[in-house]
Chain A
Amino acid sequence: MSDLVETREAQAEPVDEPARTPGRRTARKAGSERPAWKEKPRAITQVAKGAVLLLTVAMVLIPFWVVLATSLAPGQQIIDSGGWALWPESWTLDSYSKVLSSEVTTRALMVSVGVTVTGTLFSLVCTVMLAYALARPGVVGGKPVMLVILFTFLFPPGFIPTYLVLDTLGLIDTYWSLFLPVTVNVFNLVVVRGFFQGIPEELYEAARLDGAGELRTLLTIVLPLSKAVIAVVGLFYAVGYWNDFFRGVMYINDTSMFPLQTVLRGYVSRGEGLASEMSVEGTVTQAPQAMKMAVVMIATIPILCVYPFIQRYFTKGVLTGAIKS
């Protein structure tokens, strides 16, 4: 077990790198110029490499484009083609306005936003507090507690035991069940703790001499220095909450409390139609497939908006560890 601990800690070490990012970037740029001993690459190799990379990028982006185009195409085009569009004959937001005027989608959207915001804040508070306490050298019980936490890595609780815990606490069919079971992620905890440990001990010492208690040191000295790592860990938590459909399936019976991804799972995986829901309102003017794709886009857009910010903080330290989790 202690082997495991050391490995994890070693991985968390280089986390203080966001601060050094500008330096590294210039270093890489300099390194990307061809050194004198390197042959000039043959043109054909360059073309082949470029073609493979282009193909890779296209394979990633085309599905997004097809879904976007389908969601923006007029109903008749989708019905004629059988359910897809590569280029809308005319651009229309009909699907989006239909979907957003349906109560099922808007309510699910609100549940998702609420769970993501609440869950992320709660997770961040718990993670930062625990990480700070475990980062201070010589804290009472620090080592055994860390061991006990890392041990959970080997035996993650399944969903049946988690269901039973939630049931015992009376939390089945409440919004709590959508975020409490995953409050603290061990990997995120190790990353934040590693960052706190990288802050020079003199700063803690100075704060102590100035009469600041631990809580005050955390709030006024440590947190302002840790904005980057907290941002990236918060984004990882937020993406996790936003993307989860399974907790909605497993712990929520009342369909009106489903988050967006769980509702979407009904459309995608069980073939549940939007059409019936729409015909009740007597407004079937848009193709069901286009509306489904509009829901898919609505569930994807927040991730696309947040992605550039996550990417800004991609550094070697955070990511080599991320793979492990």
Chain B
Amino acid sequence: MSLTTKEPELRREAPAPAEPAGPPDRPARLWQRLRRDRALLFLMVPGLVYFAVFHYGALFGNVIAFKDYVPFIGVVDSPWVGFENFQVLFEDPSFWAAAANTVGLSFLQIVFFFPLPLALALLLHSVVQGRTRKFVQSVVYLPHFISWVIVVALFYQVIGGDGLVNGLLGGGDHLIDVVGNPAGFEPLMVAELIWKDCGWGTIIFLAALHNVDEGLYESAALDGAGPWRRFWHVTLPSIRPVVILLLILRLGEILTVGFEQIMLQRDQFGPDVAEVIDTYVYFNAVEGGHWGVSAAAALFKGVIAGILVYLANKIAHRMGEQGVYR
């Protein structure tokens, strides 16, 4: 067990011997260093086995995208079909509908969710009393730790057909007709996301606001700038790099819109409005039995998403070097 995981490290280390770092008393020979670090290498084993099996090993599972996978026969013995699964996938209108729903919902989230944590953070930051602020922060961070199953249960209990709000408004008439109404799907998804993660999202903005040099405000005030001008000319420019950074990172994840949240509610709203790429993969595989096509869809999404995240990180890093430098 331990031998098999140490082996690749030997090979991995071998081509890069010319590393200048490290204490001067470090033994130069590779086998000497292996011997010296054997306790550390032993400590790495369980974690590395995990990454080898469930990350790199799992990548091999993607071969079923090129196979006619039948669970009964197994991965190895299922016949190869080339790109047939991708052909089926790209000719499936429900896949493109799911992709359109995904991107549409992502944009709604960016437009309606993204600015709210920033607004709340600005508000919290401007509240002087430390204790009030601390209390509000404790309350608004809490929903982040509540599971999606419970968030959905809470929402339905409050605004569902038989929920509190309809009951208070007269009951029975379903005055607020959101749950199960296809037109209500996208607003409800965004509202749930706001409830769950708006408070949590303030943390990074609050940290950025906390780091703004107090001296800038002071000199602006001494030069006669009022609260609004200080906000426009000191606060906003100071946190702009963070905002742009987060926006770019979010754009990199445009194909990801909360799989658990939507999976829980897809049945009530129907696949026409509530199918996104991730739920398409799940329902098509597990309930439809089309494992190969689903794996093809997941692989297609994974590759595009990986490239987007990578590009977003690249761009963010480049912007970060200019923007965060103070």
- Interfacial residues, chain A to chain B (CB-CB below 8 A): 3-4, 7, 28-29, 31-32, 34-35, 37-39, 41, 49, 52-53, 56-57, 59-64, 66-67, 70, 81-84, 86, 125-127, 129-130, 132-134, 136-141, 143-145, 148-149, 152-165, 167-169, 180-181, 183-184, 189, 213-215, 218, 239, 242-246, 250, 261, 264-265, 267-270, 289, 292-293, 296, 299-300, 303-304, 307, 310-311, 314, 316, 319-320, 322-324
Contact = CB atoms under 8 A, between A and B. Distances in A.
Contacts of A289: 162
A293 to B, nearest CB: 7
Given A139-B37, A140-B34, A149-B51, A130 B309 contact: no
A3 B317 contact: yes
A165 B57 contact: yes
A64 B151 CA distance: 10
B188 to A, nearest CB: 14
Given A59-B195, A133-B41, A323-B204, A264 B149 contact: yes
A132 B218 contact: no
16 contacts: A35-B214, A56-B136, A60-B143, A86-B168, A132-B40, A140-B33, A143-B19, A153-B309, A160-B294, A160-B295, A161-B298, A162-B61, A184-B47, A246-B260, A268-B152, A320-B204
Contacts of B317: 3-4, 7
Contacts of A134: 44
Contact of A138 (B21, B149, B222): B21
B154 to A, nearest CB: 4
B61 A129 contact: no
A303 B196 CA distance: 14
A41 B141 CA distance: 27
Looking at B147, B148, B203, which has the most chain A CB atoms within 10 Å of its CB? B147
B129 interface: yes
A316 B206 CA distance: 9
B37 A160 contact: no
A237 B237 CA distance: 37
B323 interface: no
A268 B156 CA distance: 9
Interface in B59-80: 59-62, 64, 71, 75
Given A126-B47, A160-B294, 7 more contacts: A53-B123, A82-B167, A133-B41, A137-B22, A143-B19, A165-B61, A323-B201
Interface stretch (B84-92, B105-113, B279-287): B279-287
B183 interface: no
B291 interface: yes
Given A63-B155, A138-B23, A164-B61, A316 B207 contact: yes
B222 A37 contact: yes
Given A60-B195, A126-B50, A268-B149, A52 B61 contact: no
Given A145-B44, A307-B142, A82 B55 contact: no
A62 B128 contact: no
Nearest to A306: B145
Interface residues of B, number: 115
Contacts of B217: 37-38
B70 to A, nearest CB: 13
A60 B199 contact: yes
Contact of A269 (B152, B227, B259): B152
Given A126-B50, A310-B145, A56 B164 contact: no
Contacts of A304: 142
A29 B131 CA distance: 9
Contacts of A143: 16, 19
Contacts of B64: 160, 164
A189 B43 CA distance: 14
B235 interface: no
A186 B265 CA distance: 29
Given A84-B164, A152-B51, A130 B46 contact: yes
Looking at A3, A31, A62, which has the most chain B CB atoms within 10 Å of its CB? A3
Nearest to B256: A156
Looking at B50, B53, B142, B155, which has the most chain A CB atoms within 10 Å of its CB? B50
B207 A319 contact: yes
Interface string B120-152: 100110111110110110111111011111101
A245 B147 contact: yes
Contacts of A3: 313-314, 317
Interface in B200-226: 200-201, 203-204, 207, 210, 214, 217-218, 221-222, 226
Contacts of B141: 311, 314
A66 B58 contact: no
Given A84-B162, A160-B64, A243-B147, A139 B50 contact: no
Given A129-B43, A319-B204, A138 B61 contact: no
A157 B75 contact: no
A180 B54 contact: yes
Contacts of A86: 164, 168
A110 B33 CA distance: 47
Nearest to B156: A268
Given A148-B51, A168-B75, A269 B162 contact: no
A307 B40 CA distance: 34
Contacts of A153: 309
B203 A319 contact: yes
